[in-house]
Structure 1
């Protein structure tokens, strides 16, 4: 199912679940659903995409972790599909209904279940990192947010402010700490950082130290917009204020020098 989803092919979760049920000695559909969620939690820890709709669920068995690891190591088709999904270009989707695209911010347990998180992994895929380097996807997400902010202000009766919304990352470069300069209806600046994924809502994302520090310095005006399922049904949630207080920030790289 995951390879089909990554490849843009339709499939039936119900058909697959019932086919499994016939092979599993009477396991309930609910238990099969939870096992798929356990697999999603493992894939999250391995920095892999998972099936949208199977929200990661922790407290999985060590044996399941080993089986998922072994499957990934020996499945070049999955690797090819995940790499392609991470790296393929993107364009701004047409016809997005902004009335329905804002969702609630996930609770921390939705994003990451830490109880069974392995400290050291023999294998991690870099699909999340590859997608973060997908400039076409990032730019398309920023342009969609630009459209949303302009429409938000115009609908509120502030067309003059809508005309001042700026695509800062394009106009000034990537070092400002945010991507879009927008406005509140009272004229105050709204600094927006945009993070876009084609994968599920809870997919981790990369953020620079500069972006995090800028969120602290401008906490009363700062917003992070997280866009997800971008290629199929784009929606977003937002975080406002100092990101130190809202995210689990893992140091993933170090700048090393001698002396």
Structure 2
């Protein structure tokens, strides 16, 4: 049964409240929120509500917002959901302030990390179609918070330094101490125009060219690549790796996208915004 506008408005409003609290560092109970929602919805099951939360996460990404941890984006959402989400975020001043503070906050490299728990599986590129939505709809929102975070130089530098440490650990673990000592933070030592940030190595000494993209949000958060980075991933696909760091402030994790980026991601032809659904 399709969700009515009243139901969609209720669940989106509750989602935005939880998202605002998460971005502000305040705790909340998802189960309590879900139970409250059931009184506002037409007998929807827990599974149906959870699935809708995941749809909202996908809509928030398309609006340039982060999403709530644990509600992995499901991109095949209804057009009505997109419309209601866009309507509601416009009036949420506190959400705007919380999101801006979250994406602009400086970052530092964690001092103690168990690198054995850092690697993660990469999301799979999806090809699910959404219902037709006015293409001007999402351009109307005044900020793209994910793009703002991508421009956070403190966060970017901290992520690159983290990867330098990770690569040193990886090579030492393979018994390649000399190669580990040659890992280089090239975006600092040689400038940021090379198309990659860290020079590392394979166990046989071949160069590994690593571009680092860091977010404090979830695994499925889109990232932005430059024309040069995309070209390098295609021209040096046997050497190029994009390391996507996520949940960086909480507990850093990363996944690796080796080779040409367009085989892993859906790339917006104008902004080179890379997403998975």
* TM over 0.5, shorter chain: yes
Tell me what 1:257 maps to.
none
Q: Following the alignment from structure 2 to structure 1, what is the Cα–Cα distance between the partners of residues 250 and 231?
A: 33
TM-score normalised per structure 2: 0.86
Q: Following the alignment from structure 2 to structure 1, what is the Cα–Cα distance between the partners of residues 109 and 128?
A: 32
Structure 1 residue 253: Cα displacement: 4.9
Tell me what 1:189 maps to.
207
**What number of residue pairs does the alignment pair up?**
252
Tell me what 1:9 maps to.
26
Change (3 A) 1:158 1:107: same
What is the aligned counterpart of 1:155 among 173, 177, 201? 173
Task: Give yes or no for the alignment of 1:143 onto 2:161.
Answer: yes
Structure 1 residue 144: Cα displacement: 0.5
Tell me what 2:67 maps to.
50
What is the aligned counterpart of 1:206 among 217, 224, 228? 224
Deviations 1:50-82 (A, max 9, x none): 111111123333332222111100111111111
Tell me what 1:27 maps to.
44
Q: Following the alignment from structure 2 to structure 1, what is the Cα–Cα distance between the partners of residues 212 and 173?
A: 22
Cα pair 1:220 1:241 within 8 Å, conserved: yes
Kindly report the root-mean-square deviation, in angstroms, between the aligned alpha carbons of the 2 structures: 1.7
Tell me what 2:116 maps to.
99
Q: Following the alignment from structure 1 to structure 2, what is the Cα–Cα distance between the partners of residues 206 and 241?
A: 16
Task: Give yes or no for the alignment of 1:68 onto 2:85.
Answer: yes
Cα pair 1:168 1:179 within 8 Å, conserved: yes
Tell me what 2:130 maps to.
115
Q: Following the alignment from structure 1 to structure 2, what is the Cα–Cα distance between the partners of residues 8 and 45?
A: 23
- Structure 1, unmatched stretches of 5+, are 255-259
What is the aligned counterpart of 1:230 among 248, 254, 275? 248
Tell me what 2:105 maps to.
88
Tell me what 2:5 maps to.
none
Tell me what 1:40 maps to.
57
Q: Secondary structure at the match of 2:136?
A: coil
Tell me what 2:7 maps to.
none
